[in-house]
Chains A and B, each alone.
Chain A
């Protein structure tokens, strides 16, 4: 019942993380999305990832645009500041926020309408600038909040609930993110929490533009036969190239894998990504081969999932701009204002 406030009390023996927070401390308000919506599973995965990583909730800023997906930041991380901005413009607001304070974690949540149509430009430019962020597109191929129009990620030939067949080519956001230089690129499925949670964790600890395309079926408008974004279709056509087990830098690797099937990727912050290979010849460090593989599988109607590309030592926008290590928002008069003596010199040059 979405009009009921969520009780704050919880069982005293709920497990806590290193900071002493329970999973409940990472929750938000009760979701107002449709029952069974894929987006709610993504919210749950975000909550799980932040809990597992023992992040301080207030050190995360969550930003979104407009649409069903962009409503979800209300439903997770209630102790974090959030910004429900303008349709398609989350990336620019997030970029500005990131420039102001590089010390926080920036989580951008968007949808395929928000990011692939009205916000395509901002999606592209935030990626190519290398903004240090987690950019999740909750991709269902339709406009949910305006009741079922096709979005730009709808595959050609797929059928709407009313029986209309989409004739436009679809936008491949993963392909674009790779081409635009994203340094962490993954695709997952809202129905596969085991795959999604580690990917979100990997993206959060990644020090650059991390993009996750998460297929998230719309139970109200795009979960019927003929849709290529339905639960059934995605389950039947999911081609996972690897499974990611996220492990922090301090922990020992305890999992037991067959030799040659696991790759350890040490990220910039010391965190370790443990990649269990499902396709032994898939190389997640080769942007070009990743793009080729994705194109091939897509042409065959498959949905490739997993960690598709990662650069373990990326540079972010602050690195490009060589900004000071402190948050720009924390600089004071002494740091910023040249003063009257400098101004008099400036004047002298103009006479």
Chain B
């Protein structure tokens, strides 16, 4: 038998539950109470396309060192779902701990020799205490949290405090929850060997960081970015972004006197209508957005092309997921890169932003509206399910009150009145960005008829080839301008000079950072660049040029970012080595470390001297 794992403030707990059993709030309570003890955690919900009865998992990584990416592997399994028992037991690290409901005896063959098994008759305890079926179910979850608090030597006061905060206003629920907590804790202290080899100890490693999901943060970014019109159609994993926007607006966007709304939210009949509403509002001068996921992006393609050609500001939050239909769509991926970058028919290219965590979801969520107005084009904010729907520990959100909305080039009534030349598609400043006018501005000047392609610099109908080419080339100039406006990439050089670089983006960040440390420990030095926007700036191309080989780490099968780099930068494909994770779970440190180490060992093999013929 392996030695039981021993670790303080550095381990992975995974809860295997049945969805609809009320486990989510108990599991979140567990994660948050560790945060309250000053120890960073990363929590990830792995859930099915289902409301009740299917397996769901909740993974909590405890890491005083602050690693909030997924590590890989599990040290303590809280196995509450008989359906997934075998798989859950198999996932444990050697020396790991298995906590389970021992009310019904399990055959010996169902365990492993190299783990520590902790059985607790949860159902029995519950049934003895409660008669109501729903209570039995809900309090069972709290009881196991209580037991874990003893097993992991947690501060029970932190949990009690959280319970009282959670039920503030519904005070009569506090005592029953605290009671259940202590029932579990007392049982564990009395009957189980406490603590385990893995424990939580008070630390001071959280600081003033906050625990928030990216969808909520992005929606708040939209509030701070001045969005007034939102149109959406429910689709996992983006629905909670639109719903968070409603929540934030109810809190921040009602006239204090009249209670009237300073926003309009439409749950549309489909994604086509959602983006249509956004484009109509953008054309008419409001800041507008939609939130969707891959299939929604597919449905919006025609409209996105229109907005590109007619040059209408729009913001699209794409919370990426795995593919079409039901099932994998509740899993995470970064697999809409190409379908967004080149969305629609005809020659189109779009601006993409890649937030790394909820804080950047907020920042880019607000910035996207400035970019949309400045560039008069759709802006995609590329979240994924991992960032969007999981609570992440990140720096607090910040706002500079001196900041003003950049409404871009909008010709005013007075400018029109003064006789300023207005050509809707006229490049007056050399940056490819023309002036626009808003409907209703001036009685006799500045009106134009918005349409897709067929127009000259003054928005007059024209089917002439050279006129079309002139406009298309200007749109390319505008895209060049976008390079300087999108968030700059973040470069970090290795301690030692290296011929190898890594490009990565989005939710890969924490696992990538951790992997870098591990690789460095093995003597593998890598320069890295985190991409934050598309089009790629010159800095990105320089980074590629400076290295022999670049590992492009992404969470999709087809190396979509790599394709984008190849096509936009005319880069030799051989120099871009794909590192691809696409099973629907968030990428892990262990995956990145082993993939890069393995590929590197192949790349750095010294070839045998060619035999002389």
A interface list, Cβ under 8 A from B: 29, 56-59, 61, 63, 73-74, 78-86, 89, 91-101, 103-104, 121-122, 124-125, 129, 317-318, 321-325, 327-333, 335-340, 342-344, 346-347, 350-351
B264 touches A328 (CB 8 A): yes
A95 touches B266 (CB 8 A): yes
B391 CB to nearest A CB, Å:
9
B286 touches A329 (CB 8 A): yes
Interface centre among A79, A94, A333, A336 (most CB of B within 10 A): A336
- A258 vs B239: C-alpha distance in the bound complex, in angstroms? 60
Interface centre among A129, A323, A337 (most CB of B within 10 A): A337
Q: 18 other contacts beyond A99-B229, A104-B284, A329-B438, with CB at 8 A cut-off? A: A61-B440, A63-B280, A81-B437, A89-B276, A91-B273, A92-B268, A92-B272, A96-B229, A96-B280, A96-B281, A99-B228, A99-B277, A101-B286, A121-B269, A124-B269, A329-B228, A329-B285, A333-B405
B338 CB to nearest A CB, Å:
22
- A118 vs B396: C-alpha distance in the bound complex, in angstroms? 47
Knowing A83-B283, A96-B288, A100-B284, the reply to whether A59 touches B440 (Cβ < 8 A) is yes
Number of A-B contacts (CB under 8 A): 221
Knowing A96-B229, A338-B224, the reply to whether A58 touches B447 (Cβ < 8 A) is yes
- A335 vs B255: C-alpha distance in the bound complex, in angstroms? 8
**Nearest 3 pairs of A and B residues by beta carbon:** A96-B280, A92-B276, A100-B286
A127 CB to nearest B CB, Å:
12
Checking B262, B265, B284, B310 against A97 with a beta-carbon cut-off of 8 angstroms, the contacting residue is B284
A93 touches B283 (CB 8 A): yes
Checking A56, A325, A328, A338 against B252 with a beta-carbon cut-off of 8 angstroms, the contacting residue is A338
Knowing A86-B276, A351-B208, the reply to whether A96 touches B284 (Cβ < 8 A) is yes
- A307 vs B27: C-alpha distance in the bound complex, in angstroms? 61
- A324 vs B440: C-alpha distance in the bound complex, in angstroms? 19
- Let me know if B253 is at the binding interface, CB within 8 A: yes
- Let me know if B551 is at the binding interface, CB within 8 A: no
- A337 vs B249: C-alpha distance in the bound complex, in angstroms? 10
Checking A94, A318, A328 against B286 with a beta-carbon cut-off of 8 angstroms, the contacting residue is A328
B440 touches A81 (CB 8 A): yes
Checking B229, B266, B303 against A89 with a beta-carbon cut-off of 8 angstroms, the contacting residue is B303
- A212 vs B456: C-alpha distance in the bound complex, in angstroms? 34
- A295 vs B91: C-alpha distance in the bound complex, in angstroms? 66
B window 443-477: CB within 8 A of A: 443-444, 447-452, 461
A96 touches B261 (CB 8 A): no
Interface size of B by CB at 8 A reads: 72
Interface centre among A92, A96, A100, A343 (most CB of B within 10 A): A96
Residues of A within 8 A of B264 (CB): 99, 317-318, 321, 323, 328
Knowing A78-B447, A331-B228, the reply to whether A92 touches B440 (Cβ < 8 A) is no
Residue of A nearest to B230 (CB): A99
Residue of B nearest to A101 (CB): B284
Knowing A57-B443, A86-B302, A329-B286, the reply to whether A92 touches B397 (Cβ < 8 A) is no
B229 touches A121 (CB 8 A): no
A346 touches B397 (CB 8 A): yes
Residues of B within 8 A of A122 (CB): 269, 272-273, 276
- A56 vs B444: C-alpha distance in the bound complex, in angstroms? 10
Residues of B within 8 A of A29 (CB): 461
Residues of A within 8 A of B279 (CB): 85, 93, 96
- A53 vs B306: C-alpha distance in the bound complex, in angstroms? 33
A339 touches B401 (CB 8 A): yes
Residues of A within 8 A of B397 (CB): 343, 346-347
Knowing A82-B449, A100-B286, A346-B220, the reply to whether A95 touches B280 (Cβ < 8 A) is yes
Residue of B nearest to A99 (CB): B264
Knowing A82-B450, A85-B306, the reply to whether A324 touches B280 (Cβ < 8 A) is no
B281 touches A323 (CB 8 A): no
Residues of B within 8 A of A93 (CB): 276-277, 279-280, 283
- A54 vs B109: C-alpha distance in the bound complex, in angstroms? 88
- Let me know if B210 is at the binding interface, CB within 8 A: yes
B247 CB to nearest A CB, Å:
11
Knowing A96-B229, A100-B228, the reply to whether A339 touches B399 (Cβ < 8 A) is yes
- A99 vs B290: C-alpha distance in the bound complex, in angstroms? 14
16 contacts between A and B (CB under 8 A): A58-B442, A58-B443, A86-B303, A93-B276, A94-B280, A96-B229, A96-B283, A97-B280, A101-B285, A104-B284, A122-B272, A324-B258, A329-B286, A337-B224, A343-B399, A344-B396
- Let me know if B561 is at the binding interface, CB within 8 A: no
- A333 vs B220: C-alpha distance in the bound complex, in angstroms? 15
Residues of A within 8 A of B414 (CB): none
A123 CB to nearest B CB, Å:
11
